[in-house]
Chain A
Amino acid sequence: MRDRKQKQSYANWDYSLETSVPTGWTGHSLCVNVWTGENAEQEPSLYTVKAVFILDNDGNRLLSKYYDPELYPSMKEQKNFEKNVFNKTHKADNEIAFLEGMTIVYKSSIDLFFYVVGSAQENELMLMSVLNCLFDSLSQILRKNVERRCLLENMEGVFLVVDEIIDGGVILESDPQQVLQKINYRADDNPLSEQTVAQESSGTQEEAVFMT
């Protein structure tokens, strides 16, 4: 009975010592390496995406969502970050970058830039699958015209696509077909032209009749 061996509790000791002396640690981890994130042992979680944004070719924000309230809480910080990311990425289409301690995957199309941001420890391929899903879904609802004007004309569709792919930082869906099916949205060829408005109003009249 006496020679039972328990390695486990032995290890717990070292933990208790470490956690009881936080100051040395934090000071040290700062000078360690933001980059490998060595000391930040990550809690397994579904919160994969820190932010997603779409910029035009001047670096202006067309859409952006930040999911981690601690990451760039103010609008100013967000726009700064976007600007910085844009400056570092718009020249070469490199697909992946590492900035301000974040892994950023990106893609450009004509005059648009799509970015998905995750933490330094995040699985890069997971972020890629989000980016690809976003891009493919948009490409389909915009009928392959993935460019600024067309995107802006179908902004509601873009909002809906992003909402279906990511919910509060959790990947909700990664299959573009599923996304399209869920939002059931089609781009208009000639949005809100005079003619369509005329049709619309006649349509609403019918509806009004129906309602009465």
Chain B
Amino acid sequence: MIKKFDKKDEESGSGSNPFQHLEKSAVLQEARIFNETPINPRRCLHILTKIIYLLNQGEHFGTTEATEAFFAMTRLFQSNDQTLRRMCYLTIKEMANISEDVIIVTSSLTKDMTGKEDVYRGPAIRALCRITDTTMLQAIERYMKQAIVDKVPSVSSSALVSSLHMVKMSYDVVKRWVNEAQEAASSDNIMVQYHALGLLYHLRKNDRLAVTKMLNKFTKSGLKSPFAYCMLIRIASKLLDETEGGHDSPLFDFIESCLRNKNEMVVYEAASAIVHMPHCTARELAPAVSVLQLFCSSPKAALRYAAVRTLNKVAMKHPSAVTACNLDLENLITDSNRSIATLAITTLLKTGSESSVDRLMKQISSFVSEISDEFKVVVVQAISALCQKYPRKHSVMMNFLSNMLRDDGGFEYKRAIVDCIISIIEENPESKETGLAHLCEFIEDCEHTVLATKILHLLGKEGPRTPQPSKYIRFIFNRVVLESEAVRAAAVSALAKFGAQNDDLLPSVLVLMQRCMMDSDDEVRDRATFYMNVLQQKQKALNAAYIFNGLSVSIPGLEKSLHQYTLDPSEKPFDMKTVPLATTPITEQKTEIAPIATSKLPEKLAPSRQDIYQEQLASIPEFQGLGPLFKSSEPVQLTEAETEYVVRCIKHTFARHMVFQFDCTNTLNDQLLQKVMVQMEPSEAYEVIHYVPALSLPYSQPGSCYTLIRLPDDDPTAVSCTFSCTMKYLVRDCDPNTGEPDDDGYDDEYVLEDLEVTVADHIQKVLKPNFGAAWEEVGDENEKEETFALASVRTLDEAVGNIISFLGMQPCERSDKVPENKNSHVLFLAGVFRGGHDVLVRARLALADGVTMQVTVRSSEETVVDVILASVG
């Protein structure tokens, strides 16, 4: 009977895959033979394999059927067949989450883990820990402790790894096994050593002192396991990073010494750790680079890949450090592994000279279609960096990019290309039309809404100012006909910009707009109706305010203000001027495309930064009623670096007040400072109203104190002032080790550097995408003009930089970039003055002996114009 059954089973499995047509129900049916006596190990084994195979294929097992099979399986523990028992462990692990009452096997597993058969013990521990929870873990704690220090490596390893898995769930229990883990770490077996180190680190990682001690111990004693070495290197570099340890630290020496380890894995880990350290000098990089160079000619693809990938990383920050490897990299550009070839080429693009660009681009275009999207993005980023380095190469690049744009690829890849083209357009005015043409072609068949809307926005901005704006209309209107709501809405906005800027196109745009008003989507219809009405007025000022330049307020701020307004209804209409301004204009593309080189762009933080300050200040009772926060300055250091107290100041400007936030850090570990405040002596008619002290300033924990001042009401032109600052506090000496302070203290003070308030603190940057329109909108009612000679300035670039930083206004129309070899330049600046008055500055610069500057200021408020001119003078 059994035979016959078996035979059938064999036949069905005689195809190429014996598991091909497995039926879950049939397999579960077969599992009934688990209950037969005597147990047939071979057949049971085969059935267990089938069950695990099915689970692995993603077959769904219901709780009841899984539980039934699980319980049947438990009977198999009666057999002593080794493989069968091992498969039982696997089944337990696989079914731990789908079957009920799996803890029924606890005693069988405990028996196996403490039994005589070493072959069972390790796997039994791992299976047991898989089904154990915190309460049950305490019951087997004794066995686990023993197992960790067991002399059989597989038992010890299994116990250590299982403990590591359980740290997440039962940290408090596992923590008690730290001594055992410590003992295991000195085992001779390399895997036990590695696992013990991993567990120890996990248990101690929040205790920096313990980690340091552990590192000291192991770096001195030396380990056998290359894996453990890699782990140590990672721990050491993390610690170095956290403690800002200098490169003379013993930890750095340890990592460097690993470059001479005999195992490649360790050498590579060490090299990679050094390369990834934030402040490495070229000299410190050199040994790491030279081992990577050696790896470049390894016969192992993985090692070549690892090496060139890491070199590529180095080349981002220190291209010169990698130049020595150029020859090795050249050999890799024909590597059969395209990933390696791509990385080699992109690295060479960073380190090589302008003359090699064409050749490398040709090489890479021969196989760009074969590489994965991730690497295509790398290529695009390399191109983008190149365009900034060698602007003359933009036509080659543009061609290459447009070809790439036509190829298949995912969103990230396409976005990288689009960003890159946009940045080229912005850098090189002469490439604008070709670039726009490529992008127009792209949106004809673009599945990514985000990219389509982005390009439409760009077309709306740039298109109307090209010699032939009408040719873009077709592309844009096609979107209105063919695309989804979001794209249609963006297309309508773009159309409106053409109508507003080009009078001869206006009638046609109005006709198209009329059609858009019949759209099925609310947003599209609303926009069309709105723009239609604005355009029909044919007023420049309206166009500028509502079509070109849009809102400049911070969106979360607007939401909050509107919410507040609805909670507290009043007769007064909602005033837009009470809404905090957006601190950074969102539309600048350049910062987004440059991520390869700089991952930490401070400007990127700004929008949320101001909102956070607003929250923080609002929570202090003394500062309520100041109104919305207008502007927060960048932090100003008021102390030298590396002094006993570090103080920096952030200036917060409100409509009629300023708040100075002093972030103080006490770097003396034997002092506790209390009641810390910064006393300020103004030089002008500024009035200090209130001090908010920081109550306590323990060692190395930053704290903030505040000073509130009132700006002079009677003289609105008094925008600049110098404050002399003194920090006053109560010192209590304390024990450096415990931080326990003495009972009594004494008053002391510390003189800080002077703090200056300048005109820039009263002006918030606002980007006007269309400066001309904004200029007309404000009108010449309050216009004033004056001419200045800047004698000390030598170049136009320098002058532009000075003016921008002095006035703290936003350069528009990319006028902060002075074209090369020009003697004159016009700089456009836009901002909002405290109190919500728009202010625009046009500075014509001419280079003669020094720089002559004609400044024209327009604003909705006359005093503001005076303030600006007065402060420039």
The chain A residues found within 8 Å of chain B, CB to CB, are 1-13, 16, 18, 20-25, 27-29, 31-36, 38-39, 41-46, 56, 61, 63-65, 75, 78-79, 88, 92, 94-101, 105, 123-129, 148-149, 152-153, 155-157, 159-160, 163, 167-168, 170-174, 178, 182-185, 192-194, 196-198, 200-201, 204, 207-208, 211
Contacts and interface: CB of A to CB of B under 8 A. Distances in A.
Given A9-B700, A28-B595, A168-B165, A152 B19 contact: yes
A204 B79 CA distance: 11
B617 to A, nearest CB: 14
Contacts of A197: 2-3, 6, 42
Contacts of A25: 604-605
Chain B interface SS verdict (over half): helix
Interface stretch (B347-355, B372-380, B833-841): B372-380
A31 B665 contact: no
B144 interface: no
B517 interface: no
A9 B642 CA distance: 10
Nearest to A200: B42
B612 interface: yes
Nearest to B343: A98
B440 interface: no
A7 B244 contact: yes
Contacts of A23: 607-608
B596 interface: yes
Given A23-B608, A156-B45, A201-B2, A64 B56 contact: yes
B533 interface: no
Given A34-B412, A123-B268, A156-B48, A6 B234 contact: no
Interface residues of B toward A: which range?
Answer: 35 or more
Interface of B: 2-3, 6-7, 9-10, 16-19, 37-40, 42, 45-46, 48-49, 52-53, 56-58, 82-83, 86-87, 90, 93, 119, 122-123, 126, 154, 157-158, 161-162, 164-165, 191, 194-195, 198, 201-202, 205, 227, 230-231, 234-235, 238, 241, 243-244, 264-265, 268-269, 272, 300-303, 305-306, 313, 336-339, 372, 374-375, 377-378, 381, 412, 415, 592, 595-596, 599, 601, 604-609, 612, 641-644, 646, 663, 665-670, 699-700, 702
A173 B157 CA distance: 9
A173 B191 contact: yes
B372 A97 contact: yes
Given A4-B644, A6-B700, A24-B605, A96 B161 contact: no
Given A25-B604, A33-B377, A75-B58, 11 more contacts: A8-B667, A28-B604, A41-B238, A44-B235, A56-B17, A124-B303, A126-B265, A171-B191, A182-B119, A183-B83, A208-B37
28 contacts: A2-B644, A6-B642, A7-B244, A7-B642, A9-B666, A10-B641, A11-B244, A12-B665, A25-B604, A28-B595, A28-B604, A33-B596, A35-B377, A39-B599, A44-B201, A46-B231, A56-B17, A101-B374, A123-B306, A124-B268, A156-B87, A159-B90, A167-B158, A167-B165, A171-B227, A192-B10, A204-B39, A207-B38
Of listed A100, A163, A201, residue having the most chain B CB within 10 A: A163
A44 B2 contact: no
A170 B161 contact: yes
A94 B339 contact: yes
A96 B202 contact: no
B300 A95 contact: yes
B663 to A, nearest CB: 7
